[in-house]
Structure 1
């Protein structure tokens, strides 16, 4: 968890970097020189490295300090968006990132994520009244009611959800800054959270992960699967760093960038001994009459499945089991004469083990672009960049 660094102290450090001295920063931060000096000292103690080198010329960022402050500026920029989101607040000219505390930000974020004060308090290991009071204070400063109660529980407003996203990205960027400083000092303990779509789960991502850990054994990696919509939400809120798998066209959000790695076609996958296994010539009409296991609606795989039959002047098959789980798909295929439309890469382990078979019938026009999605403007740490390089080597 990112340490709760004082927002005013972070703002003061940014002003000192720009202006070169504590005395010049007092006018913009509205703190005394002694308060800024004490705050800076506390900040460096919490971070366990010097942000500035002191000299007769003033204060200049250390190499580690420069790395951290660059990330801090990006993090603060996320919080700056809160003011434009909420609009003008009566008689309150100070920006929200200088009015709210880190504790209030974390409480607000956690209540939105957990959906209740009780669960948020348990998550933060705080008393429930403490969390409730922090959120109430945040609402007062923001000038908006951010939560309402309903029969289903606590309901965050649209503003609360948007604020939570900016806050989550703020904390994520600060964590990146701390990890980058650790990398500068030779400690490769950075974190990478990978959203993994079906094709990437079998070998591509696991191999890249193993190779990365051979190089950086102390790196902290998480592989997260689940529906694309959930992974996209986590990516946009800073809980994932990248998503690896089939890219969406058009991109699902203006805040997402997609990077292609390779093109992949789909194949007919059946059980060993299936009547289609060795047949190289199978008409589209015969395929239409089969019972199928297909990807769920609104996925690139299902679009390719539908497009194949439509390109052949046929309506898509009706007897379809929708399934996004390779384990469940394998089980159904092994126990029936159904066929599945999958990437040959996705089932190569099962094929080599003799559990499944890929038909020699080639399906045209079922190509999908496989690649990486990340937040626009995302800057990877060294550990994260090395994973992407490892991934590129795998494909």
Structure 2
């Protein structure tokens, strides 16, 4: 059985002539509209009927009328022509200054995946204006549902907010508790969570995707009362505060991966394997994306394969 998506004998001219003859109700008018000779249009219709092994038009009257089989084929042919037209328009739009891709970047990906993806997209044939939005998950999901964002890159939202949305899993990672190298706990092996209690904790806010995961780690680790909590979604503030104070920054591993590699920050020796979770693309369900948006999503997919993740 052939695996081709389309019978290679059926050409675009067959579809164009068929649709125009149906629209005009005759070969003569169709040939004029298409700028082709009448014999050429008649030949294309005859070839198409031979390939489909059925009559597409009833020729008994003065005006050509679709047969039942012709009506069935016309529905699919019109949809195919519309899809091709939309594809051409998307490519044309991508070349114009009016095109813009709007994506949301959660803290998990805004310092590595998204910058690399945008740089790659800039070199693609579909390069256009890019708007990158950041902020809490709830804010970003509201913008996605309202059509103000094309898609979001980050951790999988909770199931109760995913109605009407779909998620594409790209990779999984876990949380890291990062501190400056001079922190009293920086060199301690096999830490227990209760040993974090005396120190300021930089935590995601209550409505952040990873906050329930952090709370679960604390409960499972027997954590008691924390003396001082700082809730923030700002990576730049959290990094600056952690570098100047004995604070403990709770964040997805990829956000601080480069800081850990160069020794600017140190990961505490805590078991965070239970925090491992999916990261990917959240988008509206059943929505046809334009060429620039699809190109940006491909750039995100490529970028996720270029960064090492925390070991499980």
- Given the alignment, which residue of 283, 294, 304 partners 2:213? 304
Q: CA deviation at 1:177?
A: 7.8
**Alpha-carbon distance between aligned partners in 1 of 2:34 and 2:81, rounded to the nearest angstrom:** 9
**Alpha-carbon distance between aligned partners in 2 of 1:254 and 1:364, rounded to the nearest angstrom:** 28
Q: CA deviation at 1:387?
A: 2.4
Deviations, residues 275-301 of structure 1 (Å, cap 9, x unaligned): 222222211221234321100003222
Q: CA deviation at 1:229?
A: 2.2
1:243 equivalenced with 2:152 (yes/no): yes
**Alpha-carbon distance between aligned partners in 1 of 2:279 and 2:258, rounded to the nearest angstrom:** 19
Deviations, residues 341-385 of structure 1 (Å, cap 9, x unaligned): 112210133345554332243423112221111011122233322
1:66 equivalenced with 2:82 (yes/no): yes
Deviations, residues 314-349 of structure 1 (Å, cap 9, x unaligned): 446352111110111112212211101112210133
- Given the alignment, which residue of 318, 325, 329 partners 2:234? 325
**Alpha-carbon distance between aligned partners in 2 of 1:280 and 1:188, rounded to the nearest angstrom:** 57
Counterpart of 1:38? none
Q: CA deviation at 1:311?
A: 1.5
**Alpha-carbon distance between aligned partners in 2 of 1:199 and 1:18, rounded to the nearest angstrom:** 52
**RMSD of equivalent CA atoms:** 3.4
SS class of match (1:365): helix
- Given the alignment, which residue of 204, 212, 222 partners 2:131? 222
Count of aligned pairs? 244
Q: Which runs of 5+ in 2 are unaligned?
A: 1-18, 26-32, 42-63, 65-73, 305-312
- Given the alignment, which residue of 364, 368, 383 partners 2:273? 364
1:338 equivalenced with 2:235 (yes/no): no
Counterpart of 1:179? 90
- TM-score if structure 2 supplies the norm length? 0.67
**Alpha-carbon distance between aligned partners in 2 of 1:248 and 1:18, rounded to the nearest angstrom:** 48
- TM-score if structure 1 supplies the norm length? 0.54
Q: CA deviation at 1:212?
A: 1.8
Larger radius of gyration: 2
Deviations, residues 191-236 of structure 1 (Å, cap 9, x unaligned): 3211111111101011011112122374222211122222212211
Give the 3 Å change call, closer, same or farther, for CA 374–317 of structure 1 in structure 2: same
Deviations, residues 229-265 of structure 1 (Å, cap 9, x unaligned): 2221221122211100111121514211111111111
SS class of match (1:201): coil
1:283 equivalenced with 2:192 (yes/no): yes
| Residue pair 2:138, 2:207 contacting (<8 A) in 1 also | no
Normalized per residue, which structure has more helix? 1
Counterpart of 1:120? none
| Residue pair 2:127, 2:292 contacting (<8 A) in 1 also | no
Q: Which runs of 5+ in 1 are unaligned?
A: 1-16, 24-51, 72-175
Matches within 5 A, 1:249-268: 249-268=158-177
Structure with bigger RCO (C-alpha 8 Å, 6+ apart): 2
